[in-house]
Amino acid sequence: MTNPKSKATRVENELANTLWERGFAVVRGPSSGGGVRRRYQPDLVAIKGGKVLVIEIKSRSGNSPIYLDSEQVLGLSEFARRAGGLALIAVRLRGGEWRFHTIDELEPTGASFRLSEPLSGMRIRDLEEAIERKDRDLLSYLKG
Amino acid sequence: MTNPKSKATRVENELANTLWERGFAVVRGPSSGGGVRRRYQPDLVAIKGGKVLVIEIKSRSGNSPIYLDSEQVLGLSEFARRAGGLALIAVRLRGGEWRFHTIDELEPTGASFRLSEPLSGMRIRDLEEAIERKDRDLLSYLKG
């Protein structure tokens, strides 16, 4: 379980199962890039009643910044635009709690994008409530 | 390329690329069941502006019936219900054309479901037009 790929798969499945139990339809992107270089593939897509969440997953034990490749952020953003959905970075904290950040919290830093405070960000319940209340600021992303 | 798994992957990528080129956000489900037994994973999910298509893929050279496992059909149906989307069987014909069938065209036959006429069914343009016109019959499935 120290293999980074199997760890990533385990963490993806953990969030996928959590969202499934909360009533979302969830699909995990293929782990390898085989044959899909022409299309960006997110870690997870979670959908409930036409509301689409497009999710990249990161793990963090503390509050140090997370850096994301520009290509990954642009892919995530384009995927969410096509889907009419919300692009999110899901951060798994040590112990298994999750924090969700919208893509507009990222700061460009030349070749990459920085998420400065992984510990801030929505909890899973905040996200669900925002979707259910149709939170204006958050859900201006969601056309459905 | 006679390995059934690599053929399935190739056919999935073919449809995924076609739908991506037509403006859909497309995600392919993981090919192996590793760790995901608790959740059904469709072959493809394609989304455009909050409209969600949940797709199982089959290949057929002629017009002989296609049989689908009950478990697969129930999984597909439940996934689409959660997502507020449309459950489809996509049939790749010899030569590369596609036909799309809604799940209510399937007939139960005891342990499985039968799609009697793979050659009937919507072409890819019919499907796009139905989504764009918000076709009433078809899109009563789509809540978005």
CB B67 within 8 A of CB B36: no
The verdict on a CB contact (< 8 Å) between B49 and A25 is no
The verdict on a CB contact (< 8 Å) between A47 and B23 is no
Task: Give the C-alpha separation, B35 to A79, whole Å.
Answer: 25
Minimum mean pLDDT range among A24-33, A132-141, B11-20: A132-141
What per-residue confidence (pLDDT) applies to B61? Answer: 87
The verdict on a CB contact (< 8 Å) between B50 and A50 is yes
Task: Give the C-alpha separation, B78 to B45, whole Å.
Answer: 14
The verdict on a CB contact (< 8 Å) between A20 and B38 is yes
What per-residue confidence (pLDDT) applies to B48? Answer: 95
Task: Write down the mean pLDDT value for chain B.
Answer: 88
Tell which residue, B5, B11, B66, B70, has the closest CA to residue B40. B70
What per-residue confidence (pLDDT) applies to B34? Answer: 46
Q: Residue B77 burial (CB < 10 Å; 0-12/13-18/19+)?
A: middle
Q: Which CATH code, of 3.90.640.10, 3.40.1350.10, 3.90.1210.10, 3.40.190.10, is assigned to A4-139?
A: 3.40.1350.10
ipTM above 0.90, yes or no: no
A52: nearest CA in chain B?
B50
pTM of the full predicted structure? Answer: 0.90
Closest CA–CA distance from residue B125 to any residue of chain A (Å): 18
Domain boundaries of chain A, sorted by first residue: 4-139
Chain A within 8 Å of B35 (Cβ-Cβ)? Answer: yes
**Better-scored residue on pLDDT, A120 or A6:** A120
The percent of residues above 70 in pLDDT, for chain B, comes to 85
pLDDT above 60 for A144: no
Element (H, E) at A12: helix A4-21
Interface probe, candidates A74, A82, A131, A134, chain B, greatest B C-beta count within 10 A: A82
The percent of residues above 90 in pLDDT, for chain A, comes to 70
Minimum mean pLDDT range among A30-39, A113-122, B24-33, B122-131: A30-39
